[in-house]
């Protein structure tokens, strides 16, 4: 038996596919063939994410390949996966989560962080990111920054920084670490959650399959319940806010003795990404639903003009 594993074709996506293929071989004794599926998000490289209409830029075509039975399972970066699951498909396993932290990379000698200024960038620095969430949190800390769109896969983004198209860039630490990229000569700083909160599910891998496929029950053996509880809380908050990847929401859930601790930040950014305000909240509750709703209510009270009733 050989399972057909669908994935995007970027270096990071292929790393993730090989990682999951190895887990399936080691733990289940089943081989996988890797099938590359092109997605709309991969094909459109000259438009910032928040200016692209719709959802599922990096997942829709993979899900269609599943439904058309061209592949048996697909691997996603969970942060890219919309909260609405298409009919006939199921999220069957969340096998692991790498660091959810953000990574700030900058030209040599650029970063000089202090307790009052945790980013430590020069006045008027050009920061590259296409994430409204990252832009909102960065501008709330440093209103004088100039934020410009940054697209491309992870190695391309790092190359653009080296080519001095930006003074600094923000990206997920997990992707850089998974690829083992050479960051020699750059200023690097991993940002703690107290400084910047990640996207819901950032750093986690997700395996999706057809709900009626017997393989879906087999793949469930790869599921990590502890990781899943945390990312489900984050994704439930995202769902309550009615948002997708355009929503400037950062959140991170961690296990506590009395349940889950969920920290969240929601930004309000203008269309030109030149100003932002954020509300930062936190809650501890015994269940995924309770902690997500507690954070939702706190955000609604903090930002009544942004979060609906």
- pLDDT at position 57 is 65
- pLDDT at position 245 is 61
Distance from C-alpha of 58 to C-alpha of 124, rounded to nearest angstrom: 33
pLDDT band at 56 (very low <50, low <70, confident <90, very high): low
The pair of structure tokens assigned to 272 is 């030109």
- pLDDT at position 275 is 80
The pair of structure tokens assigned to 18 is 């090989």
First to last CA, the chain: 50
Is-contact 223 95, C-beta < 8 A? Answer: yes
- pLDDT at position 274 is 75
Structural domains present in the chain? 2-96+204-223 (3.40.190.10), 102-191 (3.40.190.10), 224-304 (3.30.160.40)
pLDDT band at 44 (very low <50, low <70, confident <90, very high): very low
Catalytic positions, written as ranges = 80
- pLDDT at position 50 is 47
pLDDT over 80 (residue 246): no
pLDDT band at 52 (very low <50, low <70, confident <90, very high): very low
**What pTM was estimated for this model as a whole?**
0.91
- pLDDT at position 1 is 79
Distance from C-alpha of 282 to C-alpha of 32, rounded to nearest angstrom: 41
Distance from C-alpha of 209 to C-alpha of 215, rounded to nearest angstrom: 8
The pair of structure tokens assigned to 122 is 């020069």
229-241: per-residue pLDDT in tens?
A: 999 999 999 999 9
Average pLDDT for 31-45: 77
pLDDT over 60 (residue 269): yes
90-122: per-residue pLDDT in tens?
A: 999 999 999 999 999 999 999 999 999 999 999
Q: What is the helix, strand, coil percentage profile of the chain, to 5?
A: 35, 25, 40
Mean pLDDT, the chain, rounded, equals: 91
Phi-psi region of 254 (alpha: psi -120 to 50; beta: other; left: phi over 0): beta
Is-contact 246 268, C-beta < 8 A? Answer: no
Distance from C-alpha of 190 to C-alpha of 269, rounded to nearest angstrom: 24
Distance from C-alpha of 10 to C-alpha of 15, rounded to nearest angstrom: 9
Is-contact 104 191, C-beta < 8 A? Answer: yes
- pLDDT at position 276 is 86
- pLDDT at position 90 is 95
- pLDDT at position 54 is 43
């Amino acid at each position: 038996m050989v399972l057909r594993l669908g994935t995007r074709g970027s270096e990071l996506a292929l790393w993730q596919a090989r990682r999951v293929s190895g887990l399936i071989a080691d733990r289940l004794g089943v081989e996988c063939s890797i099938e590359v599926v092109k997605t709309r998000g991969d094909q459109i490289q000259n438009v910032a994410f928040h200016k692209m209409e719709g959802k599922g830029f990096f997942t829709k075509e993979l899900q269609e390949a599943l439904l058309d039975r061209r592949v048996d399972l697909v691997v996603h970066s969970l942060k890219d996966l919309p909260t609405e699951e298409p009919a006939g498909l199921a999220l069957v396993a969340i096998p692991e989560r790498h660091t959810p932290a953000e990574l700030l990379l900058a030209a040599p000698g650029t970063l000089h962080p202090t307790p009052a200024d945790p980013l430590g960038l020069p006045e008027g620095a050009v920061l590259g990111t296409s994430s409204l969430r990252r832009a909102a949190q960065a501008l709330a800390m440093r209103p004088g920054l100039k934020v410009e769109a940054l697209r491309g896969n992870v190695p391309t983004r790092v190359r653009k920084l080296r080519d001095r198209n930006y003074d600094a860039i923000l990206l997920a630490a997990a992707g850089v670490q998974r690829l083992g990229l050479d960051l020699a000569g750059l200023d690097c700083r991993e940002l703690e959650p107290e400084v910047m909160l990640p996207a819901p599910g950032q750093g986690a891998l997700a395996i999706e399959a057809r709900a009626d496929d017997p393989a879906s029950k087999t793949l469930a053996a790869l599921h990590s319940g502890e990781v899943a509880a945390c990312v489900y809380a984050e994704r439930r908050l995202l769902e309550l806010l009615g948002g997708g990847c355009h929503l400037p929401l950062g959140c991170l859930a961690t296990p506590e003795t009395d349940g889950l601790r969920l920290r969240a930040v929601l930004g309000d950014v203008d269309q030109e990404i030149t100003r932002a305000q954020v509300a930062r909240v936190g809650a501890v509750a015994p269940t995924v639903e309770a902690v997500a709703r507690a954070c939702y209510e706190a955000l609604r009270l903090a930002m009544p003009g942004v979060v609906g009733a």
